[in-house]
Amino acid sequence: MYKVLIIEDEKPAADWLKQLILKFDSQITVLAVIDSVSGAVEWFQQNQAPDLALMDIQLADGLSFDIFERTKIQCPVIFTTAYEEYKTRFVIKVGEHLKSITVDDILFFYSLEKATYLCTTDFKTYLVDYSLDRIAGMIDEHRFFRINRKYILSNQSIADIIFYSNSRLKIKLKKPDEESIIVSRDKVAAFKEWLDL
């Protein structure tokens, strides 16, 4: 009998995965649903390996990749996303603490010196564990737009839009000390359409 372990911190997503598994094969056994890195580490240390583990990348107390650093995983793993359509929050590390930030509180994401950050509505910046390319696929394209290779803006982040040379646009952000940023020439038309959504 095939045995599956689900590591997922959002109950609706875990329930959906269980239904999907049983729909595929009613003989499959879901051994447990675990909602944290620490819980998963403990489970793997105390139980025989399942035939398959389904892991949400972002868990309540960190990233599921941390599980591999803390214990030996001896089964195939499928990484899943915890959102039905788009990610609604980001868990970030602040010193020794974890902080959950909802997308409603994010003004923009940006990359700087090979690292990725987010800026919140209260103008605080935090390091994010994902690249901008990865983030672009995790967020609602109606609310966020990647204007160039270094910035993804939310529709609430823009203070002013100014016509710039060669039909380009310059954006002044609401964050007081942030420099104006230029919309890539090849993104200007799509950006104007996005503003109308």
Checking if the pLDDT of 16 tops 80, the result is: yes
For the stretch 131-164, pLDDT in tens is: 888 888 788 888 999 999 999 999 899 999 998 8
Alpha-carbon distances of 117 from 36, 66, 72, rounded to whole Å: 24, 20, 31
Average pLDDT of span 174-188: 88
Q: What is the percent of the chain with per-residue pLDDT over 90, rounded to a whole number?
A: 44
pLDDT of residue 197: 61
Show me where the domains of the chain are located: 3-80, 89-195
97 vs 28 pLDDT, higher one:
28
How crowded is residue 72: how many other Cβ atoms within 10 Å of its Cβ? 9
pLDDT of residue 63: 84
Reference 194, options 131, 133, 163, 152; nearest CA is: 152
Measured torsion, CA atoms of residues 73, 79, 81, 82, in degrees rounded to the nearest 10:
-20
Say whether pTM exceeds 0.85.
no
Residue range 3-80, CATH number: 3.40.50.2300
Q: What backbone phi and psi angles, to 5 degrees, belong to 147?
A: -85, -20
Please tell me the number of Cα atoms within 13 Å of 66 on its side-chain side.
18
Amino acid at 46: Q
pLDDT band with cut points at 50, 70 and 90 for residue 90 = confident
SS3 state at 148:
coil
For the stretch 60-83, pLDDT in tens is: 788 888 898 899 999 999 887 644
Please tell me the number of Cα atoms within 13 Å of 189 on its side-chain side.
1
How crowded is residue 13: how many other Cβ atoms within 10 Å of its Cβ? 19
Which of 13-27, 67-81, 85-99, 169-183 is least confident? Answer: 85-99
pLDDT of residue 79: 82
Q: What is the C-alpha to C-alpha distance for residues 134 and 122, in angstroms, rounded to an integer?
A: 24
Please state which of the four CATH numbers 3.90.76.10, 1.10.10.10, 3.40.50.300, 2.40.50.1020 is assigned to the domain occupying 89-195.
2.40.50.1020
Q: What is the C-alpha to C-alpha distance for residues 188 and 147, in angstroms, rounded to an integer?
A: 8
Helix (H) or strand (E) holding 68: helix 65-70
